[in-house]
Structure 1
Amino acid sequence: MPKEGQPRRSPFGGPGHQGMNFEKAKDFKGTLLKLVKYLSTYKVRLLAVLLCAIASTVFNIVGPKILGNATSEIFKGLIAKVSRTGGIDFTSITRLLLFLFCLYIISAVFSLIQGWIMTGIANDVTYRLRNQISQKINHMPLKYFESRTYGEVLSRVTNDIDTLGQSLNQSLTQLITSVITIIGVIIMMLSISVSMTLVTVLILPLSAVLIGLVMKNSQKYFRSQQKFLGQINGQVEEVFSGLNIVKAFNREDVFVQEFEQTNDQLYNSGWKAQVISGMMMPIMQFIGNLGYVVVAILGGYLAIKNAIQVGDIQAFIQYVRSFTQPIMQVAQVTNMLQSTAAASERVFEFLEEAEEQQLVENPAVLDGLEGNVTFDHVAFGYNPEQLIIHDFSTNVQSGQKVAIVGPTGAGKTTLVKLLMRFYDVNKGSIRLDNHDLREFNRNELRDMFGMVLQDTWLFNGTIMENIRYGRLDATDEEVIAAAKAAHAHHFIMTLPDGYNMVLDEESSNISQGQKQLLTIARAILADNKILILDEATSSVDTRTEVLIQKAMDNLMQGRTSFVIAHRLSTIKNADLILCLKDGDIIEQGTHDELMAKGGFYANLYNSQFEKAS
C-alpha cells in the first residue's frame, strides 16, 4: 500500500538503504547471557552432553600415560637385553596396548553420543527461533516493516539463525571438550612431573593475553560483517522484486554500483575479521613449539637424574600437544563466539521489539454493529513532530458509499491505515458505532473490514486458493460465484488448468489487471461489513472497469464503503465525497453539490476531462 506523507525507500538507491537502522552499540556479554538463558530449556540434555564429554575426554587423556608405560617397558627390556639380565616383556606390552585400544573405542562412543545430542539441541534451537520469529512477525506493528527493507528482516530468519545454529553445534561442544581436556591434561602432567608442568602452564597467561587482544580487535569486524550481509540481502531482494522497473529505467548500473560498494564493505569487514582471528593459530602453534623444546630439554635432564622414566617424557610431550591444542581450539571458539554473538543479538533484538497491542481489557463486541464511522478531530503523523492529518472530522452513516479524493500526499491512504488500526491516532478519535476503535481487539476489528488495494498481493498457490484467502471455509462453488461477480471467471477459464492454475511467487504468469480482478473476487468472497477500496480498478481497462464498478455497486449495498479514487468518474454516485488537501477536509458533499460550488473538487474533476485545444 503506498504511503502518503511518509518517506519511502527508493527502488533506485538513496534513502532506501540509508534507512536501514543498525545499532552501533552492541552488548557482547549481555547477548551471551541471553543465549545461556535461552539454552537453559535444554539443561538436561546439555548435562548429558557434559557427562559424555567428560567421559570421552577422560578415557582419551589416560591413553598417553598407558602408551608411555608401554614405552618404558620396551626401554627397560632393551636395557635388560643389552646388560643380558632379561628381555622385553611382550605379554605385558600387549596387555597394555589392548587396554589402550579399548579405552579409545569407549572414548569414541561417548564422543559420538555427545555429538548426536548436541546436534539435536542445535537443530531444536534454530527450529524454536524460526517459529518464534514467525509468530513475532504476526504481532509486529506495520511501522517496523515500513522502516526496514525486507532483506534485512529475512536475513535474521535465515543467515543469523543459521549462523547461530552452526556455532552452537560446533563451538559449544568444542568448548566443553577443550576445557575438560585442559583440566584433565594438567592433572596427568602433574602426576608425571610438577616442574615440567609449571613450565608448560606458563603458556596460559601469554595465551590469554594474545586471545584477549585478538578478540577485542576482531569483534567489531564480525559485527560489521553481519550488518553488511543484511544490507546485501536487502539490495538483492529489492532488485529481484522490481526487476522490470529497474530495466525499464536502465538503472542496472546504479544497482551494480551500489551492490559493489556494499559488497566491498562486506569483503573488507569479513577479510579483516578472518585475518585478525586467523592470527590465533600461528601464534598458538609457535607458543606450543616453544613448549615442546622446553619439555624435551627438561625431560631429558630429569630422566638422566632418574626422576622420571623415559616413557614419561613421551607421554608428557603428547600431553603438551593435548594441552596446547585445546587452547588453540578455545581461541577458535572465542572467534566463532564473535559471529555467534553478533547473529544472536540481531535475532534477540527482533524478538524483543515492541509488539502491536492486540488485546484490550473488556473489548467492545462486534456483534450487532451497523457500520457507522465517525472521525472526531483526528490528528496523525507517522512522525509525531510532522502531522499529515491535522484536524479531520466527518460522520459516515451505515451503508454509505464514501469517496476520498485529493492530490498525492493529502492523507487518503493514511486514513485507511487509521481505520484498520495499523496506526493509532495522535489526537482525537475514530469511532465505530460510538465505540472508539481502541476499544476493540485489533484482530476482531479487522474482521469488519474487506480491502482491495492498488498494490495487489497474491501468493504462490492456485487461483482457487488465492480467492479463498478471503474466507478460508468457503466452498469451491462460493469461490466461483465470487469470481463471476468480480468478472474474473471468464479469464480464469481461459488459463491452463483454470481455477487450479498455480501462480508463481511474483504472480508474473498473469497480467496486472487480472491480479486486481482476483483480489476483488477475494474481497467479494470475504463479505465484510465495511469495505475499503484503494484505487481498486486502477489496473484494469475501461470496459472491465465498468463491469467491476457494477459488481462493486451490488457488493456495497448495505455496507459502509470507503473508496479512494483518482479516476473521479468512478465515484460520481457516491453518497459522500471527502476532498482532502494537506491532511484536512476542504470540501465535502455529493458530486452534484461539489460541482455546483465550482471549487477545488470541480477543478480536479474538470481537469480530467479537458479537451486539448
Structure 2
Amino acid sequence: MASIKGNTSEKRHLKRFYYTIDQAIEKPFNWKQIWRLLVYLKPYTKTYLLGAIIAMVVSTAVRLTIPILIGKAAFDIAIANKDTTLLINLVIIIAVLYLINYIANYLRIKWVNLLGQNVIYDLRQHLFTHVQSLSNNFFDKRSAGSILVRIMNDTNSLQELFSNGIINLLMDLMTLLGIVTILFTLSPKLALAVLVVIPLMFYITTVLRRKIRRTWQEVRIQQSRMNSHLNESIQGIRITQSFTQEKENTEFFNGLNTDTYSAWIDATKKSAMFRPFVEMSNAIGTVILIAYGAHLIILGPDAGGIKVGTFISFAFFLGMFWDPISRLGQMYNQLLVAMASSERIFEYLDEKPNVDEVENPYEFDKMKGHIEFDKVQFSYDNDRIALHEISLEMKPGQTIALVGHTGSGKSTIANLISRFYDPTKGQVKIDGHNLREVSLSSLRKHISVVLQDTFIFSGTIMENIRFGRPDASDEEVIEAAKVVGADDFISRLAKGYETEVEERGNILSAGERQLLSFARALLADPSIIILDEATASIDTETELKIQAALRRLLKGRTSIIIAHRLSTIREADNIYVLENGKILENGNHDELMKQKGEYYELVRSQFQMLDAM
C-alpha cells in the first residue's frame, strides 16, 4: 500500500476510510451468487437470449464443419482423386458457410449486446430502488460516494459478463467439446499426443484463481474509497478553501489514487499471466502435432497412420482449440470481476430496512394528527441513549415546540414521528395507531419536514416546489410560494419560476432556499408539519415577514417546531424542554416563564446575548 503524505490527522482520516464497513469480503468462489446474477436474464430468455444461443449454435456448427471439408473432403478426396468438379463445389459450399457464419455472428453480437444493456438497466434500477427503501441507519454508516460506486461502477463492471461472457462461455464450451470429439474421431493417438499438456495448464492456472479474485476485490474497494473521498471533497470544497487545505487534500487524494492505481496494476498483472500459459501450451501442442503428425503421415493409414487431409484438419482444429481456451481464461477473469462486484451489489440488496412494514399495514386515508409517545426509549447505538422513556401527547391542530441544548433529543423525536427510526422501547402512535403497524408511504404522505439545511435539487424553481406534490398545477405551486412569501424573490429572477437552480441551490441564498422548502411543505398539504430549526438560516427581517405565512402554514395542522431561537415559539400551545433525552418541564411560554426553571434560564440567557451584541 502506498504511503500517504501528510500529518497525523490525515493518516487518521485514511484509517477511517480503511476500516469502514466497505471492506473486502473473504469468501470462496460462490457459484450460487453467479446463478443469482443470472436470474436477471429471465425476462429476456425467450427473446434476446434464445436468439443469441441459436445464432451461436449455427456459427459454431459452421466453424466445426469447414476444417473437415477442407481437410478430409478437399485434400483426401477431391485433390487426391483430381476431382475438379467436387473441388469447385466444395469451394462454393465453404464460401456459403462463411457467409452464414458472418450473418450468425452479426445477429449473435447484436442480441447479446441488447441482452447485456437490458440486464444492466434492470439490475441498476433494482439496486437504486432498493437503496431508496432502506432506513436512515443504512445511510448513517455509509458515505454517498461509496453508495454511488455500487450503483454505477459495480453494475457497469458486469456489463461485459452479460453482453459477451455468458454466450461466449456457451460457444467456447460447445466448440471445445466439438473439437475434442472430432479430433479423437479423426485420430485418437494424435489427439492424445497434442492434448497431453492441458491437465498441466489447468493445474497452473487454478493456482492463480484465488489470487486473481482477491486482487479484483481490492480494486473495487479502492475505487469505492477514492469515490467516497471525491464526493466528500467536492461537497466540502468551500471549507477546504477557507482553511487553505488544498495541498493537504491533494496529497491525501494522491495516496488514494496511488492505491487505486496499484490495485489495478496488481489485478491486471495477475490476470495477464493466464494468456502466456495458454500460448505456451499452444506452442507445445503445435510442436507435438508437427513431429508426431509427420511420423503418422509417413506410416500411412494402412500402418495405423493418417492421411495428409487428416493432418490438415488437425492443424485447423488445433488452431481453433487454443482460442476458446484463452477466452475461457478471460471469461474466468470476468467471473472473478463479476464475483467481486456482485458480492458488493448483493450485500446492499440483502440489506433489510431497520424500519420495515408488517403484512397488511394500516393505511392512513385521512390523518387527524394526534401524536402520542408512550414510554419511548431510543438509542442510535448501544453506547448512548438518545431518549429515556419519553411520554408526551400532541393533540390535533396544536403547535408543539421542542427546545433544549444540542443533543437533548429534539430531532430524535421528529425522526421517530416520521418513522425514520423505530423506538428501542415503547410506542409512537398517531391517531391511536402504532407506527410499526402503519404503511410508511401513507404515513409520510401526511407529514412534511422542513430542515435547517434544506435540500434543493437541480432543476427549475417550479420543479423544486412541485416536489412536495408532483401532480400540483402551476397555479397551485405559485399560490404556495405566495403564501410563504417566496413569490417576491422568485418574481425578481430573470426567468421567474422557470429559473434553473444549480445542484443544492447554490445560486440562492440560505433564506431563499428555506422559503422554497416552506412552499414545498405547504404544497404537500400535510396533516403534520415538522420545522427542524427551519428559521435558523433566515435573517430577523425575513423571519418577521414570514411569521404571518407560518401561521397560515401551521393552521389546522399538528405542528412540531424545533428551535434554538426561542422568539419563534412564544405562541406554541405547548413547549417541551428536553435535556439528555429527558423531559425537564412542559407548558406554554407564560407558564414556563413563571416557573423560572430551565426554559426561563434559556430565554434569559438568549436575550442577554442579544443585548450584548
TM-score past 0.5 threshold: yes
Shift of 1:190: 2.1
User: Is the Cα–Cα contact under 8 Å of residues 459 and 504 in structure 1 kept in the other structure?
Assistant: yes
- Correspondence for 1:599 among 597, 600, 604: 597
Give runs of aligned pairs for residues 37-56 of structure 1, distance below 5 A: 37-45=39-47, 46-56=49-59
Residue 407 of structure 2 corresponds to residue 409 of structure 1: yes
| TM-fit CA distance, 1:91 | 4.1
1:206 aligned onto 2:200:
yes
Which AA in structure 2 matches 1:53? M
Q: Structure 1 unaligned runs (5+)?
A: 1-10, 78-87
- After TM superposition, the structure 1 stretch with the greater mean CA deviation from structure 2, 36-45 or 267-276, is 36-45
Q: Is the 8 A contact 1:75 1:310 kept in 2?
A: no
- Where do residues 272-283 of structure 1 align in structure 2 (5 Å cutoff)? 272-283=266-277
Q: SS at the partner of 1:608?
A: helix
Counterparts of 1:434 and 1:151 in 2: how far apart (Å)? Answer: 40
**Which residue among 251, 258, 280 is the counterpart of 1:257?**
251
AA at the equivalent of 2:421: Y
Match of 1:470 in 2: 468
Q: Deviations over 1:208-267 (max 9, x none)?
A: 112211212111111111122122222212222232222223233343233222222222
Q: Distance in 2 between matches of 1:65 and 1:500?
A: 70
TM normalised by structure 1 equals 0.91
Post-superposition shift, 1:75?
7.1
Deviation at 1:363, TM superposition (A): 4.4
Say if 1:50 and 1:206 are closer, same or farther in 2 by CA, change over 3 A.
farther
Q: Is the 8 A contact 2:357 2:436 kept in 1?
A: no
Deviation string 1:182-207 (CA, Å, 9 cap, x unpaired) is 11111222233111100122122112
Which one-letter code corresponds to 2:55 in the other structure? C
The amino acid of 1:479's aligned partner reads: V
Equivalent residue number for residue 352 of structure 2: 354
Task: Give the AA of the match of 1:579.
Answer: V
RMSD between aligned residues: 2.4
**Hey, what does 2:238 align to over in structure 1?**
244
Q: Secondary structure at the match of 2:327?
A: helix
Contact 2:370 2:395 in 1 (8 A): yes
Counterpart check, 1:97 vs 2:91: yes
Q: Does 1:19 align with 2:13?
A: no
**1:341-490 alignment, distance < 5 Å:** 341-355=339-353, 359-361=357-359, 363-364=361-362, 366-367=364-365, 369-490=367-488
Counterpart of 2:577?
579
Distance 2:416 2:410 in 1: 10
Q: For structure 1, which segment, 369-378 or 284-293, has the greater mean C-alpha deviation from structure 2 after superposition? A: 369-378
Give, in whole Å, the separation in 1 of the partners of 2:445 and 2:409.
Answer: 23
Q: Distance in 2 between matches of 1:134 and 1:218?
A: 29
AA partner of residue 39 (structure 1): L
C-alpha distance in structure 1 between counterparts of 2:558 and 2:14, whole Å: 40
1:415-468 per-position Cα deviation (integer Å, ceiling 9, x unaligned): 111000111111112222333222321111112212111121122222112112
1:318 corresponds to 2:337 = no
Aligned pairs for 1:219-230 within 5 A:
219-230=213-224
Which residue of structure 1 aligns with residue 328 of structure 2?
330
User: How far does residue 327 in structure 1 lie from its aligned partner after superposition?
Assistant: 0.8
**Cα 1:461/1:368, change in 2 over 3 Å:** closer
Which letter does structure 1 place at the counterpart of 2:37?
L
Q: Is structure 2 residue 159 aligned with structure 1 residue 165?
A: yes
Give the aligned residue type for 2:38: V
> Given that residues 12 and 255 in structure 1 are in contact (C-alpha distance below 8 angstroms), is that contact kept between their aligned partners in structure 2?
no
Find the residue that maps to 2:331 and give its secondary structure.
helix
Spell out, residue by residue over 1:386-408, the C-alpha distance to the aligned partner (whole angstroms, 9 max, x if none).
31111212222222211111111
Deviation (angstroms), 1:312: 2.5
Identical-residue share of aligned pairs (%): 34
Measure, in 1, the Cα distance between the counterparts of 2:299 and 2:363.
Answer: 94
How far apart in 2 are the matches of 1:13 and 1:224?
16
Partner of 1:7: none
Q: Answer whether contact 1:118 1:169 (CA < 8 A) is retained.
A: yes
Conservation of the 8 A alpha-carbon contact between 2:79 and 2:87: no
Aligned to 2:136: 142
Per the TM alignment, residue 113 of structure 1 is displaced from its structure 2 partner at its CA by 2.0
Residue 66 of structure 1 corresponds to: 69
User: Is 1:291 aligned with 2:285?
Assistant: yes
d(CA) in 2 for partners of 1:58, 1:157 = 39
Contact kept in structure 2, 1:139 and 1:356, CA below 8 Å: no
Q: How does 1:125-140 map to 2 (within 5 A)?
A: 125-140=119-134
1:65 positional shift: 2.5
- Given the superposition, is the C-alpha separation of residues 296 and 529 from structure 1 closer, same or farther in structure 2, using an over 3 Å criterion? same
Question: How far 1:371 moved relative to its partner?
Answer: 2.1
Contact 2:448 2:530 in 1 (8 A): yes
What's the CA shift string for 1:509-546, capped at 9, x where partnerless?
A: 22222111101111122221111001111112210011
Name 1:558's counterpart in structure 2. Answer: 556
Sort the Cα spacing of 1:298 and 1:520 in 2 relative to 1 into closer, same or farther, 3 A: same
SS at match of 1:138: helix
Contact 1:373 1:396 in 2 (8 A): yes
Q: Provide the rounded CA distance (Å) in 2 between the counterparts of 1:289 and 1:328.
A: 13
Query: Post-superposition shift, 1:68?
Result: 2.4
Whole-Å Cα distance in 1 between the matches of residues 155 and 573 of structure 2? 53
Q: Tell me the CA shift for residue 499 of structure 1.
A: 0.8
* Residues in 2 aligned to 1:235 and 1:411: alpha-carbon distance in whole angstroms: 30
Q: Is the 8 A contact 1:358 1:441 kept in 2?
A: no
Report if the CA contact (8 A) 2:363-2:438 is conserved: yes
Task: Tell me how far apart the structure 2 counterparts of residues 165 and 361 of structure 1 sit (CA, whole Å).
Answer: 36
* 8 Å CA contact retained: 2:52, 2:111: yes
For residues 337-395 of structure 1, the C-alpha deviation after alignment (integer angstroms, 9 at most, x for no partner) is 10011122222222222146664456446456432222221100112453111121222
- 2 CA distance for matches of 1:174 and 1:538? 61
2:544 maps to which residue?
A: 546
Q: TM-score, normalised by structure 2?
A: 0.91
